[in-house]
Amino acid sequence: MPKNEFAGRKIAVIGAGAWGTTLADLIGQQDYIVRLWCFEPEVAQQIKRGRENEIYLRGVSLSENIIPTSELEEALADVGLVILVVPSQHFRDVASKCRPFVSPKSYALSASKGFEIETFKRMTEVLAEEWGGLDYKAGVLSGPNLSREISAHKPAVTLVASENEELVRTFQHLLSCRHFRVYGGTDVTGTELGGALKNIYAIAAGVAQGFNFGNNTLASLITRGLVEMVRLGVTLDAKVETFYGASGLGDLICTAFSELSRNNYVGRQLAGGEKLDGILAGMNHIAEGVYTTKAVHKHLKNAGIEMPIAEAVYSVLFEGFDPLEGVHALMGRGLKTE
């Protein structure tokens, strides 16, 4: 699909956090007009005035092809390609408000990573409920994609997954450029699970880094964390091989090791003795792993699945368990075969 085939196809990014702004800028840098919906009117004004999202992506000069707005109707009018980048706990509300303005035969791509806590639904499942009856196709974008690095044009890959081949090809060609390579896939469930679950283990990795445990610890944590991700994934009909790709192992390594990761930051602060409420209050960004941990814990109560690292993270986040004691408890578990 040549790039010029996107001429006349209107594009909207719903959500102007760091990742939503980065995706809008990536599209705009390729000479496409993209509307960016900003929840905060002041963010829209900042971008209009100085071509910068001072709250969520400070220091990055944004493309002139981005049209910021705080009105969903304006953002979605006659749009054929929609990318939703909304925090998981607000996703249903925003999707519901979008529904009256969604154009027929739209392609929708979720770039949000998380679960709805009460229902344990993935974002494409929430979208299907809220946009039921509309003639649209949906997919998911997920991979090792730290906003700061992508916006600085550092090479990276990602994955677009959908059961609709044309949607996959469309977003592959829309988003791919010299520094951003987009792979295609069909396993929507596995792609969403990988993007969401890795944030739990990024928190655990941050704890390990906060205690200066070293690379052996991090490698062990990532290895066993991946086992837990696969263990849950197969019960939800995800493909095992998806977890060894960009949206699984790739995203897990990236988020676990990087100090740019919000979830890693939460873990490091916990290791330093800070309490969760204070950590979250001091952040401009959403640490999705906190809410993912709660959603997974709720699901595991009746699922009969063993995920000891995820459960230890839950105990530290929500039950006042000392992080170091959590490490000792994990290391002292009964011996097993791998």
User: What residue ranges do the domains of the chain occupy?
Assistant: 3-186, 189-331
**CB-hemisphere CA count at 13 Å for 111?**
27
Q: Give residue 144's pLDDT band: very low, low, confident or very high (50, 70, 90).
A: very high
Is residue 11 predicted with pLDDT exceeding 60? Answer: yes
> Which pLDDT score is estimated for 147?
97
% of residues, the chain, pLDDT over 90 = 94
- Are β-strands 156-161 and 137-142 bridged in parallel, bridged antiparallel, or unpaired? antiparallel
Q: Is residue 324 within 8 Å of 211, Cβ to Cβ?
A: yes
Angle value at C-alpha 106, between 101 and 112, nearest 5 degrees: 85
Is residue 255 predicted with pLDDT exceeding 70? Answer: yes
**CA–CA separation, 122 and 247 (whole Å):** 15
Single pTM value for the model: 0.95
Helices marked H in 250-287:
251-257, 262-271, 276-281
Q: Is residue 117 within 8 Å of 291, Cβ to Cβ?
A: yes
Active site residues: 198
pLDDT (average), residues 149-165: 97
> Which pLDDT score is estimated for 112?
97
Top-level class of domain 189-331: mainly alpha
> Which pLDDT score is estimated for 8?
54
> What CATH number belongs to 3-186?
3.40.50.720
Q: Give residue 265's pLDDT band: very low, low, confident or very high (50, 70, 90).
A: very high
